[in-house]
């Protein structure tokens, strides 16, 4: 048995139909967790993630909810607790980017990015904490970004939301550490997913030149760190912001 054994744990991964979330769901399930694969619109992809997990001998189910919708998010967590009788791990992965220069940014693009990446994450965290604090155990991992540290031209909304995720994770960790609950933020660099596909097509060489490791990250690079943080190997790690970026932010 490895220390990463998550057998018997119930995990929710938001936005897990594609990209980094799908890889996280598969790694947690491979370590023994029963995984709720949350999705907003990508039902077919979510069902494919569940099928892949089950084919590998794991347990998962897909549940729809838009994490920017308060009522839908409350229903999601109520459903998870009713169906599984508990919640041990929450990975707040759902995220969107709506890039544009700040000077011409539309209010709705600012608001949407904040609503999904920060307010939605905050609500999921709060709903999970109600349960985790009562049973005095639980782990929450929040997907931020290295843009939280560096800014990023055309990403004022995204960078602000992701910096908020780091601050929220630290504050929440302090509030719940003595209840046996850990909260950490993960800051990926440039990971090859749908979210970065256009940038990669337009400026891939330029980005690559700024990655000391000499390659783009994969969803699995991020999933490995998330799995570690969910495991008992990370039992004494809380309130931290950990980068997984091939050295990009060390420059």
Q: Which residues bind ligand NAP (CB under 6 A)?
A: 14-15, 17-21, 38-42, 66-68, 93-96, 116, 120, 143, 145, 188, 190-191, 193-196
Q: How far is the CB of 31 from ligand NAP (least distance, A)?
A: 20
Residue closer to ligand NAP (CB basis): 18 or 182: 18
Three-class secondary structure of residue 137 per DSSP: coil
- The catalytic position among 39, 77, 110, 158 is 158
Largest interatomic CA distance in the chain: 54
Phi, psi of 191 (to 5 degrees): -110, 135
Q: How far is the CB of 189 from ligand NAP (least distance, A)?
A: 6
Whole-number Å distance between alpha carbons of 37 and 50: 7
Phi, psi of 145 (to 5 degrees): -170, 155
Residue closer to ligand NAP (CB basis): 17 or 80: 17
Three-class secondary structure of residue 250 per DSSP: helix
Q: How far is the CB of 127 from ligand NAP (least distance, A)?
A: 14
Active site residue 39: no
Q: How far is the CB of 237 from ligand NAP (least distance, A)?
A: 19
Per-residue DSSP letter, 233: G
Half-sphere exposure at residue 204, Cβ-oriented, CA atoms within 13 angstroms = 11
């Amino acid at each position: 048995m490895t220390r990463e054994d998550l057998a018997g744990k119930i995990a929710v991964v938001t936005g897990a139909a594609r990209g980094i979330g799908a890889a996280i769901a598969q790694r947690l399930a491979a370590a023994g967790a029963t995984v709720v694969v949350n999705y907003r619109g990508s039902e077919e992809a979510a069902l494919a993630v569940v099928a892949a997990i089950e084919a590998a001998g794991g347990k998962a189910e897909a549940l729809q909810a838009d994490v920017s919708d308060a009522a839908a998010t409350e229903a999601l967590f109520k459903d998870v607790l009713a169906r599984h009788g508990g919640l041990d791990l929450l990975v707040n992965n759902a995220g969107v980017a709506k890039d544009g220069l700040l000077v011409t940014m539309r209010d709705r693009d600012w608001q949407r990015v904040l609503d999904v990446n920060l307010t939605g994450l905050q609500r999921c965290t709060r709903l999970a904490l109600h349960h985790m604090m009562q049973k005095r155990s639980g782990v929450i991992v929040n997907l931020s970004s290295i843009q939280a540290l560096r800014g990023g031209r055309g990403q004022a909304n995204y960078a602000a939301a992701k910096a908020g995720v780091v601050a929220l994770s630290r504050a929440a960790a302090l509030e719940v550490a003595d209840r046996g609950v850990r909260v950490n933020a993960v800051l990926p660099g440039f990971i090859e997913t749908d979210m970065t596909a256009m940038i990669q097509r337009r400026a891939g060489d330029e980005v690559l030149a700024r990655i000391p490791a000499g390659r783009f990250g994969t969803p699995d690079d991020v999933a490995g760190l998330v799995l570690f943080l969910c495991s008992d190997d990370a039992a004494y790690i809380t309130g931290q912001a950990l980068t997984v970026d091939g050295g990009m932010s060390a420059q």
